[in-house]
Amino acid sequence: MPSLTLKIDVDTYRGTREGVPNLVRLLQKHGANATFLFSLGPDHTGWALRRAFRPGFFQKVARTSVVEHYGLKTLMYGVLLPAPDIGKSAAAEMRSVKAAGFECGIHCWDHVRWQDNVRKQNAAWTETQMRQAFGRFCDVFGEAPCTHGAAGWQMNDRAFALLDAFGFDYASDGRARLNDDGTLSDPTAGPYRIKAACKTVSCIQLPTTLPTLDEMLGRQIKGQVVEESNAAAALLSLTEAQRDHVFTLHAELEGQKLAPIFEQLLTGWRAQGYDLVSMGDYHQKVKTAALPVYPVSWGEMPGRSGELILQPAQTFQIQ
């Protein structure tokens, strides 16, 4: 049976308090597994307003109704309102996810700080951010995490090296390359190991292989503008041909206003014959395979502003 891995990025305080419990209920209703990746430090979402100068930012804001999805209060955190410490204020909500039987992992310490800075920052800065997240995770859950998924799909060589140093077995820090219509540019895209700073990282990468809902909404795909009314059908059309996939969703979106679309997706993927699994489940399926090794690669993704980690289309070497 093909696997469809559900990777849930939790970016904000509001997403942790409101979106996460909604997603837990929805997943339980449909008997689906998933991995929740938490932001564990301060919520500085308001700092993201600095991205207004990035090419493509205003188009994304216009398409996805950022204020409506995230809330005005969240967009003021770190600007006009103090940044709440998510790991302290919402620890109970995080622990309830584990108690419900779902896998939990690290997204980041400070989402906006990481996403906007890690690519150009040095090893010391990177290690500080990752140690803070790792320590807080251990404080909240009483155990070390097995998995990691980088905020904004942003990493650097030191961050990749630290995946092994911290004992992560698998991660989803990047994306598979997509065509404008959301299909995979390379049909062989999937689990791999990454080579950073001339060293192959043992931690297996499980790249996201599908577009996210916020990347699709408002765009014209296959001659049709994707709206909330047809978003599920558009995404399900990309999974008709069965193969393993990783889908990234967000507690702030699918856990709140876009929850009805996500429920349609869960029903549709079941009907298509997919096993809806966590990252840990998928890792068990692929961990003994002979995986390709790729160098760190960057590129742009349709519907998203700025560059992010992308799986190269050609094998660098075979492990």
Minimal CA–CA distance to 114: which of 101, 125, 103?
Answer: 125
Measured between alpha carbons, how far is 157 from 165 in angstroms, rounded to an integer?
Answer: 13
Assigned token pair, 308: 């992010």
CATH number of 3-152+211-293: 3.20.20.370
pLDDT of residue 6: 99
Predicted local confidence at residue 234, as pLDDT: 97
Q: What per-residue confidence (pLDDT) applies to 148?
A: 98
Instruction: Give dist(CA 256, CA 306) in Å, integer.
Output: 25
Instruction: Summarize pLDDT for 284-312 with one digit per residue, the tens.
Output: 999 999 999 999 999 999 999 899 999 99
Closest CA to 226 of 12, 63, 2: 63
Say what percent of the chain tops pLDDT 90. 83
Across 142-152, average pLDDT: 98
Distance in angstroms (rounded) separating the CA atoms of residues 70 and 84: 15
Lowest mean pLDDT among 59-68, 91-100, 259-268: 59-68
pLDDT at 87: 96
Q: Which amino acid is at 57?
A: F
Domain limits of the chain? Answer: 3-152+211-293
Q: Which two tokens stand for residue 112?
A: 């906006």
Q: Residue 147: exposed, middle, or buried by beta-carbon count in 10 A (0-12, 13-18, 19+)?
A: buried
Q: How far apart, in whole angstroms, are the C-alpha atoms of residue 128 and residue 156? A: 14
59-68, 281-290, 309-318: which has the highest mean pLDDT? 281-290
pLDDT at residue 319 greater than cutoff 50? no
- If you average pLDDT over residues 4-12, what whole number do you get? 97
Distance in angstroms (rounded) separating the CA atoms of residues 232 and 213: 9
Report d(CA 317, CA 18) in Å as an integer: 44
131 pLDDT above the threshold of 90: yes
Dihedral angle sign, alpha carbons of residues 296, 203, 95, 22: positive
CB 283 within 8 A of CB 170: yes
Residue 72 has pLDDT above 70, yes or no: no
| Mean pLDDT of all residues in 172-201 | 96
As a whole number, the mean pLDDT across the chain is 91
Specify the higher pLDDT residue, 189 or 47: 189
CA 200 to mean position of chain CA atoms: 23
- Higher-confidence residue of 82 and 76: namely 82
In the predicted model, what is the mean pLDDT of residues 3-19? 96
Is the predicted pLDDT of residue 71 greater than 90, yes or no?
Answer: no
Residue 78 has pLDDT above 60, yes or no: no
Span 28-39, pLDDT tens digits: 999 999 999 999
On whether the CB atoms of residues 196 and 163 are closer than 8 A, the answer is no
pLDDT at 84 (0 to 100): 85
The mean pLDDT of 175-183, rounded to a whole number, is 96
255 compared with 314, residue with greater pLDDT: 255
Please determine, for residue 135, whether its predicted confidence score (pLDDT) is greater than 70: yes
Residue 64 has pLDDT above 80, yes or no: no
Placement of tokens 């577009």 in the chain = 211
CB 191 within 8 A of CB 185: no
